[in-house]
């Protein structure tokens, strides 16, 4: 019995039709559009959280969160080593960094006025075109104005359309510029990552 005829793909240009049996409700909702929305908004949340923690914690506390000791030993992940190299710090042992090097490592010092990474939604809701976030008392007054864009107009959508492999996609996403620091240097998605296992990528 034919339960459904589904047309189209994920709005990425490769449309097709298929006859499929009825399936249980898919929590991934609309497929790749929903995945793009989730990935984009995860980075937006990460950006807000990083600014909040930098504003409310000491360098030592931030370092403890970013490079926690496991079985009494700290280690840098590959992506953290890449950030150290970007900063011109050649050390690979977390216990050998100076206080100044720790400060440079843990503080992205993002200028909120330069943030270009917006939240996205797959709904044309005009009242989300300009919003204020951070109004909860738990955010301790760290509010700012931002906006929602349409999912398919996001940089993640552009990366998905252009990527040639999983590795290429990971690298392109990591290079996405989300803001600038107060010295005018670009801050990328990779700069926001705390820990990462590359799984051979």
Give 56-89 pLDDT, tens digit per residue.
999 999 999 999 998 889 999 998 999 999 999 9
**How far is Cα 190 from Cα 15, in angstroms, rounded to an integer?**
32
pLDDT for 186 beyond 70: yes
What is residue 2's predicted lDDT score, i.e. its pLDDT? 44
Q: Worst-scoring range by mean pLDDT, 23-27, 36-40, 49-53, 134-138?
A: 23-27
Residues in a beta bridge with 7: 17
Show me where the domains of the chain are located: 30-192
Q: What is the pLDDT of residue 190?
A: 92
- Kindly indicate the confidence band of residue 123, based on its pLDDT and cuts at 50, 70 and 90: confident
Q: Would you state the pLDDT for residue 34?
A: 86
Q: Does domain 30-192 have CATH number 3.40.50.1470?
A: no
- CA contacts within 13 A on the Cβ side of 51: 25
Instruction: Report the distance separating Cα 164 and Cα 109, nearest Å.
Output: 33
Q: Please give the pLDDT value at position 166.
A: 92
Model confidence at 14, in pLDDT bands (50, 70, 90)?
Answer: low
């Amino acid at each position: 019995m034919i339960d459904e005829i589904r047309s189209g793909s994920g709005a990425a240009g490769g449309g097709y039709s298929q006859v499929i049996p009825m399936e249980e409700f898919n929590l991934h909702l609309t497929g790749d559009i929903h995945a793009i929305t989730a990935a984009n908004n995860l980075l937006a949340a990460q950006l807000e959280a990083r600014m909040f923690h930098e504003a409310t914690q000491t360098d030592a506390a931030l370092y403890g969160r970013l490079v926690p000791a496991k079985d009494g030993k700290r280690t840098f992940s590959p992506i953290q080593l890449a950030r150290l190299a970007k900063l011109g710090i050649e050390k690979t042992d977390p216990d050998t960094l100076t206080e100044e090097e720790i400060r440079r490592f843990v503080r992205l010092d993002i200028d909120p006025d330069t943030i270009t990474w917006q939240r996205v939604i797959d709904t044309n809701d005009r009242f989300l075109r300009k919003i204020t976030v951070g109004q909860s008392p738990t955010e301790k007054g760290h509010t700012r104005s931002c906006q929602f864009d349409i999912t398919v107009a996001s940089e993640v959508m552009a990366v998905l359309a252009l990527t040639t492999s999983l590795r290429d996609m990971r690298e392109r996403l990591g290079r996405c510029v989300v803001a600038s620091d107060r010295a005018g240097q670009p801050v990328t998605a990779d700069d926001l990552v705390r820990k990462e296992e590359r799984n051979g990528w």
